[in-house]
Every structure is written in C-alpha cells, then in structure tokens.
Structure 1
Amino acid sequence: MRDAVRRRFLELLCSIYIYNEHRGYTAIDRMLAAIRASWPDDEALIRKVESHRADERKHYLMFRRWFERRGVMPFDIDRTCGHIDRFVEIVFGSPIDALDYRLIGREDVFERLCRVVSLTEKRGHRQVEILLRDPKVRDDAQLTKIFRVIEQDEPSHWAPYDGWLRDHGRREANAWERAIDSFVHGELLVFKLPVLFLAPRLRRRSTWPDQHDDAGALDQVAALA
C-alpha cells in the first residue's frame, strides 16, 4: 500500500511538472516572437530569454525520460494545474495563448508579464527546495537528479525579467501580485492535488505533450537524466 501511494504521488507530481515545463517553453516561444518583433535591437534580452526557453525544454525532456524509464505515460493534466496559465488569466484576463498579440510593441504589457514570470520562477525554485527535502523524492535517484538540475537553473530564469524591470525603471511585484501567486500555488496544493490524487479514474495521456511541437525531433538529454 505504501509503495502504491508513493508511486501515485510521484507520477502525479511529475505529470504536473511535465505539463508546466512544456507549457513554459511553448509560451516563451510566443513571447520571444513578440520581443523580436517589438525590440529587435535588444539582443541581450533576446539571448537571455532564449536561454530560459532552452532550460524549460531541457527540464520537460528530463521528466519525459523519467516516465519513459518507468514505462508509463503521464496523467492527463490540463491548464487548471498550470501555474503560469492561472497567473496570466487572473492578471491579464485572457489565456496565455492570446497574450503574444497584446504584447507586441507594448512595454506596459511586457512590464506586467515580467513580474508574473519572475514570481512564477521564484515560486518554482522555492518549491523545488521543498521537494528535495521530501523522502519520497529523495528515494528516487533519477528524480532527485532532475530537481537538482532545476534548482541550479532556476535563478537564471527570473534574472532577465527582473533586470528588464530594473533597467527600465519599472516597479517590482506589489502585494496584490504576490497574493495572486500565493493563491494559485495554494489552490494547487490544497485543493487540486488532493482531488487528483484521490480520483479513481484519472486518465493518462496517450501522446507526449511535445508530439506536435515545431521543434521536431526529441532532444538528447541522457547526460542529464
């Protein structure tokens, strides 16, 4: 019984992560297109955001490899468990898929997005630190290695957005934005995760999230996972 509970917890946890990592780098693709169209001369920002995108893709692939080695597919998690999805919807009143059109040429919109991304990445870093102390995670050597990589990568993910806000004289996140971040995180931990854990007929995906990505072939991540 204990092994079954541990197995379901880890597979559900990694299903949420694989959704969010895939959602992260595909959303960054759209954001990058808007940045290049709006501020093509800001090569430093573009390079940093490209690096962020590459890390999100790398993390997604590490979780995919984790599932492949277990011989199972992730659970079918949707946008209701996406931190950035919920955060953007609350702050901007629209899905993240539509945000790139509103971003083009709009520093005021990008300013708000920078704060949302920064808060999301900092929240993710704190959560990884908590998970690395969890015995259920520590007993899985591959998963521990994945979270160690994420822990090392995360600080560079919020740096471009904090840097843009600082360099352009824009404010940091206020109490309202931090409250939204806490609400979205708490909503997942207190309500959604327990409901999913206890759902007897929670379906698994039949395809990988990146099957229809423009990127094409699966990247090689054996050295990291």
Structure 2
Amino acid sequence: MRRRYLDVLGSIYIYNEHRGYTAIDRVLEAVRARSPEDVELISAIERHRGDERKHYVMFRRWFERRGVMPLALDRTFGHIDRFVEIMFGTPIDRLDTQAVIDDDALFERLCRVISLTEQRGYRTLEALLANPFVRSDPILVRIFTIIRKDEPSHWAPYDGWLRKHGKRRPRAWERAVDTFIHSELLLLKLPFLFLNPWIGRRTDWADADEAEASDRSFRRRSPRPA
C-alpha cells in the first residue's frame, strides 16, 4: 500500500513539475514581448522556471533509484492544466499566447491562476510532509522540503505584477475553482490511480527531447537530495 501510494504521488508530481516549467516557457514568451524592459519580472519568472525544472529532475532521479518509470499520466492529472482549461476555455497547449500578450485582462487572469496554483502547492506540501508514508522515505522528504522552501518565491512575481499595476486580487469564486480542482484530484483522481492496476507506465522521460547538453549542465548545478 505504501509503495503504491508513493508511486502514484510521485507520478502526479513529476507530471506537474514538467508541465510547470514547460508552461512557464509560454509565460516568459508573453512577458518578454509585453514588457521587455521589466528585467526584474523576467528574471523572477526565469528563476521560477529553473526551480520547476530542478524539481522535475529530482523526481526523475527518485524514480530512477526505485528502478521504475512514472505512471503514464496526461493533463487530466495536472492542476495548472485544469485551471487554465476552466479559466480560459482551452488547454495550455492551445492557449493563444499572442492574445495574452495583447490583452491586459487575459495576462492579469493568467497571473492570478499561476499565483493560486503555486500557493495551493505550498499548502499541499505542508500536509504531505506530515504524511507517514511520505516520511518513511527520506529522499522524498528531502525533495518536498526543497520544494517547500522554493515555493513562496514562485507566486511572488505574479502577485507583484498585480499590485504594481493596480490589478485586483483573486476573488472568492476563483479560489473556489482552485479548491474544486484540488478536491477533484485528491478525492477522485488519486484514488482512481491508486486502485487501478491497468494504468501503464511511461516508456520514456517527459524531457527526453530536450537538449542533452543543457541537461548535463543542469545536473551539475542542482542540489542532490540527501
């Protein structure tokens, strides 16, 4: 039971970390086009992207140590995927980046979605680090501790942009959407994965098509779980 739970949990996290840094590439594209002079914001989002990539690599190493591949999940299990689909009416991959660049209201909405997603992630980590199954795996505890330390800097640039430009904070209904997505994952999707023995595993890594030289450089810089 413990092994299966950690397998499901790790698979959900590695999917979301990969989805996170690849989606942030789209955000960076929009910010660089909208505000090329805002070096501070661009740098903060680049650091966010780097952290998400670092987290993905830590989970990949965790799976490699266990000698198994992650479960083959799709966007059904992605928090940011579901949030973007609900708030924009389209999957992340089909989100019109140019429209976000051209429309302040769309960029404002995107900032709120990312901020809420990152804050939700932080609260979830607090619960996971108290979970007996998680605490039985020292490497996983180390990974989640690193992610918890990184998280507050992830929503800061988006909240900062909203404040700087006099934009509103998330409303109750937006927070309710975030809560619904989290509850759906926790109460429906995670148990479905846990109890379904027919879910297959990935046959390759999600980042297999990324430049190997870049990956080697990253591995030299990233912290190793104790």
Q: 1:222 to 1:119 in 2, by over 3 A?
A: closer
- 1:112 corresponds to: 109
The percent identity for this pair of structures is 61
Q: Distance in 2 between matches of 1:159 and 1:24?
A: 16
1:213 aligns with 2:210: yes
- Read off the aligned partner of 2:146 and give its amino acid letter: V
Q: Does 1:38 align with 2:38?
A: no
CA 87–132 in structure 1, closer or farther in 2 if over 3 Å, else same:
same
Local SS of the residue matching 2:207? helix
Give the equivalent residue in structure 1 for 2:224: 224
Where does residue 48 of structure 2 map in the other structure? 52
Tell me which amino acid in the other structure corresponds to 1:71.
G
Give the alignment partner of residue 81 of structure 2, picking from 80, 85, 99: 85
Note the alpha carbon deviations across 1:31-56, whole angstroms, 9 max, x for none: 10121112111111100000000000
Q: How does 1:1-225 map to 2 (within 5 A)?
A: 5-99=1-95, 100-213=97-210, 217-218=214-215, 219-220=218-219, 223-225=223-225
Q: Note the C-alpha offset of 1:217.
A: 4.2
* CA 1:84–1:222: 2 relative to 1, 3 Å: closer
One-letter code of the match for 1:43?
V
* Structure 2: stretches of 5+ with no match in the other structure: none
Distance 2:118 2:200 in 1: 28
SS at match of 1:35: helix
Report how far residue 200 of structure 1 moved: 1.5
Aligned-partner residue type, residue 19 of structure 1: Y
Q: Distance in 1 between matches of 2:107 and 2:213?
A: 29
Q: Deviations over 1:77-123 (max 9, x none)?
A: 11000000000000110111122232123221110011000000000
- Over the aligned positions, Cα root-mean-square deviation in angstroms equals 1.3
Displacement of 1:214 in angstroms is 5.3
The 2-side partners of 1:213 and 1:36 are apart by: 22
Structure 1 position 216, deviation (Å): 5.4
Q: For 2:10 and 2:199, how far apart are their aligned partners in 1? A: 14
| Matches of 1:39 and 1:73, distance apart in 2 | 40
Output the CA distance in 2 between the equivalents of 1:183 and 1:66: 29
Q: Deviations over 1:60-89 (max 9, x none)?
A: 000000000111000001100000000000
Structure 1 CA distance, aligned partners of 2:203 and 2:213? 18
CA distance in structure 2 between the aligned counterparts of 1:62 and 1:210, rounded to whole angstroms: 13
Q: How many residues align?
A: 221
Q: Distance in 2 between matches of 1:224 and 1:166?
A: 36
Please give the TM-score of this superposition, normalised by the length of structure 1: 0.95
